[in-house]
Structure 1
Amino acid sequence: MSEALIQVKQLVKYFPVNNGLFGKASGQVQAVDSVDLTIRKGETFGLVGESGSGKSTIGRMLLRLGEKTGGEVRYNGIDLYALSREELRLLRPEIQMVFQDPYSSLNPRIRVGEAIGEALVEHGISNKKEVRERVLEVMNLCGLASHHIDRFPHEFSGGQRQRIGIARAIALNPSFIVADEPVSALDVSIQAQIINLLNDLQETRNLTYLFISHDLSVVEHLCSTIGVLYLGSLVEVSGRDDLFCNPLHPYTRALLSAVPIADPTVKREKIILKGDIPSPLNPPSGCKFHTRCPLAQEVCQVERPVLRDVGSGHLVACHLV
């Protein structure tokens, strides 16, 4: 087993809610609540869950694109939140992000070549004479033609813009990339191309990914380890095959029951969860899922389950397991 590249311990992120004339804090949105996870070198860790479960917030915290409320995030043994601004700037080329919306993440007023190459100059990786050659190299790796270098973002399709976003991320030769729903805004055929591109880049450049998605069929194809997030807390973490063949948490089972099956002869019972996801302003006591769980018992309402290993590295936070 490869060594850990990212180690997260008891990560917490709360956003204050300010109301009233003087902006007094009236509560906190508990976006991320005591999350532990480990991402090993060379793997793709998939993070799944409903919208609003805290997936993107965790991704941003892992790159220190915002301040945490509590906990610890380590990259290669380095505590990211203990670094000074200058120390973080020196480390920044090693940890990059591919954003969900490829258009809004690009400046519409600058050409693609400049968008990809500006970080190379800023971090002193290439001088202005070398940068064009380096940009053309990564564009070629990402399936973009050389004549695209002088075009503006609006001249590209959604799939091409996402390739530009990926090229911009790998231009700095990072070790770790957070891919935040990078294919959710794309057509299915284009999704397959981007997924294959991410796979190829991982093999050739020894990349490690945190892949954030709500699409379990995409996660099944790309990820080696999967974490299931509910209302800011991990409820299950396992290897891909074990999770899809033997889901243990009721929430994971409900998510998997909604994944379409290509074979019409195979029938799967669809689990319909009752109610809506609770507000992170006032999450339920005990197990956060108990208000929607068809198997909830009295203990679930009062005692919060901890994420524990039930065998072969399969982690689950449920009183029923």
Structure 2
Amino acid sequence: MSEPLLEVKRLKTYFPIKKGLLNRTTGYVKAVDDVSITIRPGETFGLVGESGSGKSTVGRTIVRLTDKTDGQVLFKGADLHALSPQDIRRIRPRLQLIFQDPYSSLNPRIRIGDAIGEALLDHGLSDAGNVRDQVKEILEACGLSVAHIDRFPHEFSGGQRQRIGIARALVLNPDLIIADEPVSALDVSIQAQIINLFKRQQQQRGLSYLFISHDLSVVEHLCNRIGVMYLGSMVETASRDDLFRNPLHPYTKALLSAVPLPIPKLKRERIVLQGDIPSPVNPPAGCKFHTRCPWAQEVCSQQVPEYRNAGSDHWVACHLV
């Protein structure tokens, strides 16, 4: 088995809550609380969960857009959060992030050719004489016309702007792309085009992805392994086939029960969770999910479940398993 490309070990990201005239810290928002992920070369790891579960914060912490509180982020064996600014700058082309909102991530005053090509110049990966040709090549690879190179972001549709975001990441020829909800705001037909683009580029370039999404049907189509997050913590990790065939955690079962079936006549027991997701400022004691779990027992409110291997590299944090 190949060595891991990315290892996230017991990652924690807390945001302080400041109050009063003295701006004192009165608590913390525990956005990411003890998350571990391993991604190997050529693999796509899907990270799923409700809004507010901490998925996007994991992605932003990995690339150091957000500082970690504890844990390690190892990329090709190097601890990203321990590197100097000069060293992290050298690694950045190998590790790219595609943002959730393709419009706000683009400067409205910069033509897309310049937006895509500026990183090549900034990192010394191309010179001014060749960068335009490289931008045209990546635009065509992403399903855009070379005639688009001198247009501004507002002249494109949502799907086209997402392709621009993908092109901006791919032009640096990275090893790993973190895609944060890249298709959530797009029509279904455009979603299919973007997903096929991801798969095609992976086959051609040997890319690895951390694919962050709340849409399990998209994740099933694209990912090799899947991790399920709830309230900042990982509750289950397994291969795609194992997770969809035999979900172990009650939260995973509830998420899967909401996925529409391709054949309307088929029926699946629908698990409707009661209440809202608790606040990450003051998460419940014991298992964080016990306040909404239909099968919760007394032990669930008293002890934090161990995150353990239930067999065949299928990890779960649940007292009931």
**Superposition TM-score tier, normalisation by shorter sequence:** over 0.9
Aligned to 1:294: 294
Please show how residues 83-98 of structure 1 align to structure 2 within 5 Å. Answer: 83-98=83-98
In structure 2, give the amino acid aligned to 1:75. F
In structure 1, give the amino acid aligned to 2:229. L
Q: Normalized against structure 2, the TM-score is what?
A: 0.99
Aligned to 2:270: 270
1:36 & 1:123 partners in 2: Cα distance? 30
Q: Deviations over 1:3-61 (max 9, x none)?
A: 21111111000001112222221210000011111111111000000000000000011
1:313 & 1:202 partners in 2: Cα distance? 24
The DSSP-based 3-state class of the residue aligned with 1:129 is: coil
Aligned to 1:167: 167
Aligned to 1:239: 239
Please show how residues 113-262 of structure 1 align to structure 2 within 5 Å. Answer: 113-262=113-262
1:186 & 1:211 partners in 2: Cα distance? 16
Deviating 4+ runs (over 2 angstroms): none
1:50 & 1:2 partners in 2: Cα distance? 32
1:149 & 1:319 partners in 2: Cα distance? 55
Aligned to 1:112: 112
Number of residues of Structure 1 aligned to a counterpart in Structure 2: 321
In structure 2, give the amino acid aligned to 1:169. A
- Per the TM alignment, residue 314 of structure 1 is displaced from its structure 2 partner at its CA by 0.5
In structure 1, give the amino acid aligned to 2:121. V
The DSSP-based 3-state class of the residue aligned with 2:270 is: coil
Which 5+ residue runs of structure 1 have no aligned equivalent? none
The DSSP-based 3-state class of the residue aligned with 1:4 is: coil
1:306 & 1:43 partners in 2: Cα distance? 26
Q: What value does the CA root-mean-square deviation take over the aligned residues?
A: 0.7
The DSSP-based 3-state class of the residue aligned with 2:130 is: helix
2:157 & 2:2 partners in 1: Cα distance? 38
- Per the TM alignment, residue 250 of structure 1 is displaced from its structure 2 partner at its CA by 0.2
2:306 & 2:91 partners in 1: Cα distance? 33
Q: Deviations over 1:174-229 (max 9, x none)?
A: 00000000000100100000000000000001100000000000000001100000
Please show how residues 39-58 of structure 1 align to structure 2 within 5 Å. Answer: 39-58=39-58
Aligned to 1:63: 63
2:187 & 2:294 partners in 1: Cα distance? 35
Aligned to 2:312: 312
In structure 2, give the amino acid aligned to 1:159. G
Please show how residues 73-92 of structure 1 align to structure 2 within 5 Å. Answer: 73-92=73-92
1:32 & 1:183 partners in 2: Cα distance? 23
In structure 2, give the amino acid aligned to 1:295. W
Q: Taking every aligned residue pair, what percent have the same amino acid on both sides? A: 67
